[in-house]
Structure 1
Amino acid sequence: MSAAEAVTLATVTVRNDHDVFAMRGMGREVAAAAGMSEQDQIRVATALSEVGRDIVSRGGAQESAEVAFLLEHKDLVVAVSPPPGGHSCNADGVKMALRLMDEVKLGDPDKLIMRKRLPGRRPPSVDQIRAKIGTFKPVSALDELRRQNLELASTLEEVRQLNTELQETNRGVMALYNQLSVELEETNRGVVALYAELDDKSLRLRRASDAKDRFWATISHELRTPLNSIIGLVRLLTGSGAQPLGTEERHQIDLIGSSAHTLLDTVDELLDMAKAESGRLDPHLTLIDLHRLVEDLRLSLLPTADSTRIRLTVHLPPPPQRVLADEAMLARILRNLLANSLKFTEQGEVALQVTHDVATGEIIFTVVDTGIGIAPEHLAHVFEEFYQVPGPAQLRAKGTGLGLAYARRLAEAMGGTLELTSVEGQGTTATLRLARLSDVPVVNRVLIADDDDDFRAHLRRMLTGLATYIDEARDGEAALRAMRATPPDVALLDVMMPGLGGTALLQRMGEDKRLHTIPAILITADPVKHHPDLGVAVLGKSALRRDTLLRALQRVLEGKGGPV
């Protein structure tokens, strides 16, 4: 509502101190009639007193100011037309009014407009307000002073009550704080006890792991000797210089020899599993002729397949075809996969297919069978040690449940992956991805800086075939020393390391003339999106794969950064 729509409720002329008291009283009466609370009535009256005092102190005896009380929509408006000389926004009265009223501003010309909002409920009508203030009579200064003293006493009583309530609240807050402090202290004691228990369990696990490693090392030694003796005796009994044996005798001796070979292979698998867990299963990489390797496997496995019911087929790309891998490890993996497929396939086909993934430069070995398949609830457990998929009793008796777990360990040791898919009643597909198809590494020298020994070993296996030389450092300072001694072509830096982390290490490298040109890849356990583009490639630890690492190396060598 504009000023033109405002309705005048009352007017007061101010010339002297007595008029100031009258204006104050009128302001309080109007505020009360308009439905304001007692506190708002006091605020309006006080603001008018301060402004009136300024008017009297600045004007002469003959000067006067007109004060109009208006109702504008839901606002009580006080318009003060000043005497000659006007008002000053820096005047003490105006400053006080700014604190007490909802709005104070100077109109034109120099008219002071003070505004106070009425309560949210519907205000009385103009006629009702005029009727209430029509009986107002100005009081003397002493009466006004007495009224102010009563207001002050009332306000002090309210302050005292508020102070009492505040003290009660403070006591409640302190009681709650003390209770929370006790609970927090108890929680802290529980956390400390939990950490102590975890440390104790970690120590027990390390001791158990060490004991297991010692057990496998001992058992492998103790079992190998008698098993090799049994195998040697079987050869003597069935060799060309041995005494003639009957058919049943030769069959029984062959069974003894076969069982000894099986047991010896199991001991070797268990020992290699222990080595893999401790990070000591290091592959010896060479360039392997795939055609020769696969043909040897096919010929060795043909006697185990019923050629009348099962076809064993091999599909290879045209020669020459070579792969960088540990020949013994690769042969064990493929033999394991093919033997499993032949064992669980009653009729149909077992096929080995070798392909080259151009995008990642990997060799893919796929073993597909038309066997009994694996139910979905068992498929997630097939790579667990000693786990055997439920099936016919005669098939379960042929295995130990170590084959697939052992094969995956070997694949990971060579920086590859082994996955299994299956449909119950239709067959199983095993997919092995291995080293890049090339005898030329992507990079000559790589430095790995990470405080996690296991993750460094994991990265080292992934870099097999991608890098000629691999250096390692446990922290940022050690990485700086290694880089200054032998600058790498690429640095893999863990973001979170004790002392000097990956990003701080990058800054130190940038300040060194010898190191500032070395490309770097940040490795982080956090989501990659949480790290800004620092001009380097950024990899997440949780989903790191060989193909992802390869792309990152190619990007930084091309001078590209950012998340991979």
Structure 2
Amino acid sequence: MMSSSKSWPIMAVPIETEGDVVAVRQRAHRVAELLGFERQDQTRIATAVSELARNAYGYAGNGRAEFVLDASIVPQRFVIRICDKGPGITNLQIILDGQYRSQSGMGLGLIGARRLMDTFNIVSEPGKGTTVEVGHKLPLRVGPWPRAKLTEIVSSLKKEVSSDPLAALREQNRELMQSLEELRRREEESQQLNQELGDTNRGVVALYAELDGRAEQLRQASELKTRFLSNMSHEFRTPLNSVLALSRLLLDRIDGDLSAEQERQVGYIRRSAESLLELVNDMLDLAKVEAGKAEIKPVRFSVGSLFGALRGALKPLLTNATVELLFEPSQDLPALYTDEAKVAQILRNLISNALKFTEEGEVRVTARPCDNGTSVTFAVGDTGIGIAPEDHERIFEEFSQVDTKLQRKVKGTGLGLPLSRSLARLLGGDLRVESIPGQGSVFSLSIPASMGSPDRELLSAPGGGSKSVLLIDDDETFRYVMRQIVGNESRYEFLEADGGEEGLKLARERQPDVIVLDLQMPAVDGFTVLQQLAADTRTKVIPVVVSTSMTIDDALRSRLPEHVRLISKNAISRESVSSFLRDAVQGAS
């Protein structure tokens, strides 16, 4: 119970008759009003005090109500203490737990008072009576009451004469009617709000339906574009090859000699046809990748032999004597097992662009191992004109070109870099650029060193033992694809979860050898799953491979732990799955 030098008494009211119960209620209401409580709080305090006073009179025959202002805390608190010398309460805890009901309703009175007030304390001993103390904090808008000002309130209360009980009951009824009217108004507001929410939900459903329709239209348009590019590219190749063959016949003088002017004209025809054929080939390759029809044909080859072939093929492009083309393979690079033709195609595009936009200096091609030899990074750096930061992503958009002084001199289709990035992701890697205007550019191609075993034992686990793979992904289609690839291989047990929460549970219970994790999931996303896996001793050592449809760039890599391997869903194939599962298991063993 409260005992403090800053507990300032206001008044005390004896409880000896039924009328005193009403008087206690009136006094509580009046004091609350004078202290600055809102009308609703006045009613709450008066109701709680009335219930406690009725309990004191009904069970003990008499009692006493003391009104006090607790000035020891901020904000100050209005405290009412109801005490009696009755028989006490033997089953107090049962009453407070709401498990006891008496015919007079004492249990409801105590519980109701506790709910209505900010603080509630009760002490009761059999044969020694009961003391209940309740309190309510003063509103924040009311400043602290000084002792002198409180004395004025006490004096005015002593001069007031209590009204008769019937008047008090009428006042109580009026307050109840006001409370009921307030409840009715709030119920109407709630119904109106529910109606507005229903209208909003219908609008959201309609919006989703419209978005689904637009998405389907975009998908069909993309499919139509891909089909058109694929078909038309094939149709263009035949007449272009004929033009090239005929121009070659003319230049070789098969049907007679040409004048110097005729030779120049035929040369223009041939170069134009070659440029158009290059554009057609790029469009066809890009269409194949987008349609998912591009085939990966991995072979074993060395970086040294690849660089040698590129050096010979690109030598005719070295028309500027002030630019030097250098190849520097790392000495400790192992043999690669991937699609050599596609790697060469990407590097040819990058080197060709570098030579076009470098007026003097060098173009340097390097290769180095990464991730403990599981991947390799090719870099094509130049001392050319460079690219502004705002254009770093735009150059990877189809038919997009940056307007520069050299761009007007050299011809391009705007398809080389988009195609190169698409091919890089098809090989399980990515293509990025670092460039500063006037200081040159560096294009980095990172790909897995192996896309599967050359002997086609695609999913063999190290040591011959059975290994388990847990896939956590909310995309049902992707889970089906992975289930078909991994689930049909007897050396791997395939587990799957359609969300982060279920995935964490399975990871802790089954402790798989590898976890394949999606990042974009509702409720619990992949970033949260990674944090919780790392924080749990049972799962922190399990290797994780992140498979995502998000753009794989430096910003995304910076959000992931360094040891987590990152692959694009667009690059998923039987060979790539074999590679990253085997590498993950070997790394953990």
Q: Is TM more than 0.5 here?
A: yes
**Offset at 1:270?**
0.6
The reply to whether residue 152 of structure 1 matches residue 169 of structure 2 is yes
CA separation of 1:559 and 1:108: change in aligned 2, threshold 3 A:
same
Deviations 1:11-51 (A, max 9, x none): 98xxxxxx944994997599589957797789878866764
Distance change in 2, residues 1:488/1:117 (3 Å): closer
| RMSD between superposed Cα atoms in Å | 5.1
> 2:123 matched to 1:105?
yes
Change in 2 beyond 3 A, CA 1:336/1:520: closer
Report whether the alignment pairs 1:523 with 2:536. Answer: no
**Structure 1 residues 236 and 269, CA gap change in structure 2 (3 angstroms):** same
Structure 1 unaligned regions, length at least 5: 13-18, 57-64, 137-145, 457-471, 511-515
* Separation (CA, whole Å) in 2 of partners of 1:33 and 1:201: 64
Deviations 1:446-500 (A, max 9, x none): 88977869x95xxxxxxxxxxxxxxx83486x68xx73x5324375856359xxx
Query: What is residue 352 of structure 1 aligned with on the other side?
Result: 365
Matched-pair contact (CA < 8 Å) for 1:495–1:524: no
Partner of 2:571: none
Q: Secondary structure at the match of 1:345?
A: coil
Structure 2 residue matching 1:254: 3-state secondary structure: helix
Corresponding residue number in structure 2 for 1:143: none
The verdict on how the C-alpha distance between 1:307 and 1:69 changes in structure 2, with shifts beyond 3 A counting, is closer
Which SS does the other structure have where 1:548 is aligned?
Answer: strand
Seen in structure 2, the aligned counterparts of structure 1 residues 551 and 130 have a Cα distance that, compared at 3 Å, is same
* Letter paired with 1:445: L
2:402 maps to what in 1? 389
Q: 1:558 to 1:110 in 2, by over 3 A?
A: same
2:490 maps to 487
Rounded to whole Å, the distance in 2 between the matches of 1:415 and 1:127 is: 84
**Greater C-alpha radius of gyration:** 1
Distance in 1 (CA, whole Å) between partners of 2:427 and 2:349 is 16
Moved more, 485-494 or 124-133: 124-133
Q: 1:445 aligns with which of 439, 455, 459?
A: 459
CA-CA distance at 1:165 after TM superposition: 4.3
Match in the other structure for 1:311: 324
Distance in 1 (alpha carbons) for counterparts of 2:159 and 2:316 = 117
Superposition pairs for residues 5-84 of structure 1, below 5 Å?
20-21=16-17, 24=20, 35=31, 51=56, 80=84
Partners of 1:230 and 1:411 lie apart in 2 by 32
The answer to whether the 8 A contact 1:69-1:77 is kept is yes
Superposition TM-score, scaled by structure 2 size: 0.67
Deviations 1:65-97 (A, max 9, x none): 9x7787877666666556xxx556579698798
Measured in 2, the distance between the counterparts of 1:169 and 1:33 equals 24
Contact 2:435 2:441 in 1 (8 A): yes
Query: In the superposition, relative to structure 1, how do residues 491 and 147 fare at CA in structure 2: closer, same or farther (>3 Å)?
Result: same
Q: How does 1:75-154 map to 2 (within 5 A)?
A: 80=84, 98=110, 105-106=123-124, 110-113=128-131, 123-124=150-151, 147-154=164-171
* 2:202 aligned with 1:207: no
Cα contact 1:107–1:113 (8 A) shared by 2: no
Q: Distance in 2 between matches of 1:26 and 1:203?
A: 73
Letter paired with 1:305: L
Q: How does 1:156-305 map to 2 (within 5 A)?
A: 156-174=173-191, 176-177=192-193, 180-181=194-195, 183-239=196-252, 241-305=254-318
TM-score normalised to structure 1 length: 0.70
Name the CA distance, whole Å, in 2 between partners of 1:48 and 1:358: 78
Is the CA contact 2:9–2:67 (under 8 Å) kept in the aligned structure 1? yes
Which amino acid in 1 is paired with 2:490? Answer: P
1:426 matched to 2:439? The reply is: yes
In 2, Cα distance between equivalents of 1:313 and 1:420: 19
**Post-superposition offset of 1:246:** 3.7
Q: Is the 8 A contact 2:470 2:515 kept in 1?
A: no
Q: 1:55 to 1:415 in 2, by over 3 A?
A: closer
Q: Does 1:322 align with 2:329?
A: no
Asked if the contact 1:521/1:556 (under 8 Å) is kept, the reply is no
8 Å contact from structure 2 (residues 230, 288) kept in 1? no
2:480 corresponding residue in structure 1: 473
Partner of 1:415 in structure 2?
Answer: 428
Matched to 1:528, the amino acid is: G
In the TM superposition, residue 297 of structure 1 has moved relative to its aligned partner by 2.2
Contact 1:77–1:116 (CA<8 Å) still a contact in 2? yes
Secondary structure class of the residue paired with 1:444 = coil
Q: CA deviation at 1:357?
A: 2.5
CA contact (8 A) 1:537 1:556 kept: yes
Distance in structure 2 (CA, Å) of the matches to 1:70 and 1:192: 60
- Contact kept, 8 Å, 1:414 with 1:435, in 2: the verdict is yes
AA of the residue aligned to 2:324: R
- The equivalent residue for 1:62 is none
Q: Counterparts of 1:158 and 1:87 in 2: how far apart (Å)?
A: 32
Q: Deviations over 1:301-324 (max 9, x none)?
A: 223223532222222234986322
